[in-house]
Homo-oligomer: A and B are copies of this chain.
């Protein structure tokens, strides 16, 4: 792999140390504010480049773009232009933001192009057609299998042969910051004679990442694993909220349903695969020989540091988990090849989530279920309170960033506060 130059690029936009949205990142998102209708922007430092205004002033005139392509309330039509075009837009914006380039820096429109991120409301970045949730962390699948099935045979026989996954609910995927009502439902603990009904008593987060599809296929077609990159536009952070008690009672034999469908949250800025390129790394070595359609020639792991914080209603943020996306046993190319191997068609905006990202260390587990080990090892928070699961009033935030040779590319955060059941 080529070494990235040590933070060689400098922008005229002020970017604080440890900022996620550096000149190397430039993720796409959809925003509005009091003045502005929904539109597409690129984040840099504490600012957003309003691409519609940039386009209007001719800065993107060398790229073949439809009129008003940036005045949309989702990225789908923009992504549909294809990677050669979307890459050109990002490359052009990068050049315009360089300190040595006066074109935008000294232009009279600069004030209109650059919007304060603080004053912007972020919207769902894409219109999602279908959402799949994979189960691709070996540590997570092993932990869950050990807790609920058999510690000696924690992984099921299929697990090392295919990236296990299931269809998720699309309607309830919401943007970071959306408050989430605690779900109600049926549960039946082993000591109960009959199922009971009420607000979930075991509400959990799941630390995940998700990729967004950038190129569609037709029914009957499959994405070859060597071509998978062409179909992946970018990535976001993902919190797959889970009600463990509802899930435990309902999930045999057809899988998770109401224990998941009440809500999932995503981060607003889609970090492109181009921005993540310097952070590629090897995935764990396959422990079983894979069928050819799942054999990767290239590295598809990504070294992305992940953290989870819990903030009680009246307390401070508590760091409860440090994990990394590189722990994933099954990578995104394998997931996409598997998803489509049966001829299932994919669409622009589809979301494919990783499943809970747990690492080997006990503080790298990506859910309360694992961190507090089924309630047997409660976490103690700064304010002295204990947590086995998530309580009403708690805000859960997931953060993620990659860093190498002084270059930082971050995802910002996905956050959500739990409200009492309605």
B-binding residues in A (CB < 8 A)? 129-130, 132, 135, 156-158, 161-162, 164-172, 174, 180-181, 183-186, 188, 194-195, 197, 219-222, 243, 246, 249-259, 261-263, 289, 291-293, 338-339, 341-347, 350, 419, 421-422
Give the docked Cα–Cα distance between A255 and B164 (Å): 9
A171 near B347 with CB under 8 A, answer yes
B168 near A167 with CB under 8 A, answer yes
Cβ of A180: which chain B residues have Cβ within 8 Å of it?
219
A161 near B219 with CB under 8 A, answer no
B195 near A161 with CB under 8 A, answer yes
A157, A166, A249, A289 interface centre (most CB from chain B within 10 Å): A166
B257 near A219 with CB under 8 A, answer no
B167 near A342 with CB under 8 A, answer no
Give the docked Cα–Cα distance between A149 and B255 (Å): 16
B422 near A181 with CB under 8 A, answer no
A-B contact pairs, 16 of them (CB 8 A): A129-B171, A164-B254, A166-B166, A166-B254, A169-B344, A171-B345, A172-B219, A174-B219, A181-B220, A183-B342, A184-B341, A220-B419, A251-B254, A253-B255, A254-B255, A261-B342
B164 near A167 with CB under 8 A, answer no
A250 near B197 with CB under 8 A, answer no
A422 near B258 with CB under 8 A, answer no
Cβ of A165: which chain B residues have Cβ within 8 Å of it?
254, 257
B344 near A261 with CB under 8 A, answer yes
Cβ of A346: which chain B residues have Cβ within 8 Å of it?
171
> Which residue of chain B has its CB nearest to the CB of A161?
B195
Distance in Å: Cβ of A168 to nearest Cβ of chain B:
6
How many copies are assembled?
A: 2
Distance in Å: Cβ of A117 to nearest Cβ of chain B:
26
> Which residue of chain B has its CB nearest to the CB of A186?
B162
Q: A184-B342, A342-B185, A345-B172 are in contact. Are A162 and B261 (CB under 8 A)?
A: no
A221 near B422 with CB under 8 A, answer yes
A186 near B291 with CB under 8 A, answer yes
Distance in Å: Cβ of A392 to nearest Cβ of chain B:
13
**Option from B164, B256, B258 in Cβ contact (under 8 Å) with A341:** B258
Q: A166-B167, A184-B343 are in contact. Are A254 and B135 (CB under 8 A)?
A: yes
Cβ of A167: which chain B residues have Cβ within 8 Å of it?
166-169, 257, 261
A222 near B174 with CB under 8 A, answer no
B255 near A256 with CB under 8 A, answer yes
Distance in Å: Cβ of A38 to nearest Cβ of chain B:
19
Give the docked Cα–Cα distance between A422 and B224 (Å): 13
Cβ of A249: which chain B residues have Cβ within 8 Å of it?
158, 162
A255, A289, A292 interface centre (most CB from chain B within 10 Å): A255
B344 near A262 with CB under 8 A, answer yes
Cβ of A222: which chain B residues have Cβ within 8 Å of it?
184, 422
Cβ of A169: which chain B residues have Cβ within 8 Å of it?
130, 167, 344
Chain A to chain B: the 6 pairs with minimum beta-carbon distance, closest first: A255-B255, A181-B220, A183-B342, A167-B167, A166-B254, A261-B344
Distance in Å: Cβ of A212 to nearest Cβ of chain B:
15
Known A135-B254, A197-B291; further 16 A-B contacts with Cβ < 8 A = A158-B195, A158-B252, A164-B257, A165-B257, A167-B167, A167-B257, A169-B344, A184-B342, A184-B343, A220-B419, A221-B422, A222-B422, A243-B342, A261-B344, A263-B343, A343-B421
B170 near A252 with CB under 8 A, answer no
Cβ of A345: which chain B residues have Cβ within 8 Å of it?
171-172
A184, A222, A252 interface centre (most CB from chain B within 10 Å): A252
